[in-house]
Amino acid sequence: MVVKIAISDPAEIIDQRIVEVAAYVNKSRRALVVTGAGISCSGGIPDFRSSDGLYNLVKARHPKTVLKGAELFDATLFKDANRTKCFYTFMAELKTLVSTAKPTATHRFLRDLQESGRLLRLYTQNIDDLEAELNLPVVQLHGTMATVKCTLCPSSYPFTSEYVDAFRQGDPPICPKCEAIGEERSLLGKRQLAVGTLRPDIVLYNEDHPNGDKIGLQQCSDIKRRPDLLIVLGTSLKIPALKKFVKLAARTVHENKNGIAILVNKTAPTKEWENVFDYQIMGDTDEWVQMTESKLADKPLLTAEWTRMLRRKAEFQRQQQKSTEEEEDDDEKENQTTVRLKKAKMSSTTTATTKRKAASGQTTLDGYKVTKLKRALSTSKGSSSSSSSQSLSSTKKAVK
């Protein structure tokens, strides 16, 4: 059964449920965590779609280019020069915001999980790289704004203010390595090769992740280690590949005796996730962290709650077992009744058939064979006697 909690509800309504979740977190030893943009908003990265957000800023700078927000993260924009300029302007403003942003309470909570030995792996869809400020190991599913990379060669460089200024004008800088190779070839009198430009080291829609295979192997490895807790924070889970991984992780977690899956997000999930998460907590991730941390600090409360939960779970299992046994008994009785009815019906049918045959004078097959045999013998004897009498009569006539 899914437990739904709205953080905005009064404390007396949700407090018990928050304690339950905290008890599970406290007992976890191999937690998988997946995070999205919702955990970074309070750190200084606002919603892109707000009235003063980045999307409107880009539109103001490039009024002649019609471009939806989502298209700024689509690799197909590089096919159009004007859209490409919009992209680089957007990246420059985003980097400026990221550079001044700070880790949130949710980031620090995840760092505490890691330091206490409870965190198996942290996967993030975010590109802000705020985890690095806390030395928090993370698998970056969509890349990072900490570096820029060449569009042709594998070179990458720190995303410095120099590159931010170039991007803000809508013109990507030349890759230093490609430029150096070109100069060297020119001195040697060789023909010039194509020169790459720099772009943020992030993964856009409609392009492959350069570390996709490596991430896939990491996910397989984590699943094999049988995680006992799944926490999804600040994301609506729209990306197909991530949805698949989260569902697999949840199934693996539920194979553990006390494993549960938790979702914390401002937006309620669709029905697709009804049987995936045990707890759906609607609200800000920082608020949930604050509530949970206060419970985690109360060890006697956690111990008492865990004991109560185990007792309640054992009672529920006993009730299920009893219900199952009763259903099995009912099924057995029903089967026995069905067998008796079938036997009675067969007996009744046999008796009725025998009576009909007797009424019509029909004998059994064996009786029929015996009767024919007797008749055959009787006929044979009659024929023999007649032949003997005729022979004797002929003899007497001859004597005379």
CA–CA separation, 144 and 203 (whole Å): 8
319: left (phi over 0), alpha (psi -120 to 50) or beta: alpha
Residues 6+ apart with CB under 8 A from 2: 274, 275, 277, 278, 279, 280
Whether the CB-CB separation of 199 and 148 falls below 8 Å is answered with yes
Scanning the structure block, which residue is given the tokens 């200024």? 165
Give the strand pairing for 279-282 and 3-6.
parallel
The Cβ of residue 158 has, within 10 Å, a number of other Cβ atoms equal to: 9
Whether the CB-CB separation of 261 and 276 falls below 8 Å is answered with yes
Report which of 7, 21, 10 is spatially closest to residue 262, judged by C-alpha positions. 21
Query: In Å, how far from its chain's centre is CA 339?
Result: 45
Per the annotation, the verdict on 62 as an active-site residue is no
CA–CA separation, 105 and 386 (whole Å): 125
Burial class (CB in 10 A: 0-12, 13-18, 19+), 293: middle
**Residue 197 DSSP symbol:** B
| Catalytic pick among 62, 142, 209, 254 | 142
**What is the length of the chain?**
400
> What positions carry a catalytic annotation?
142
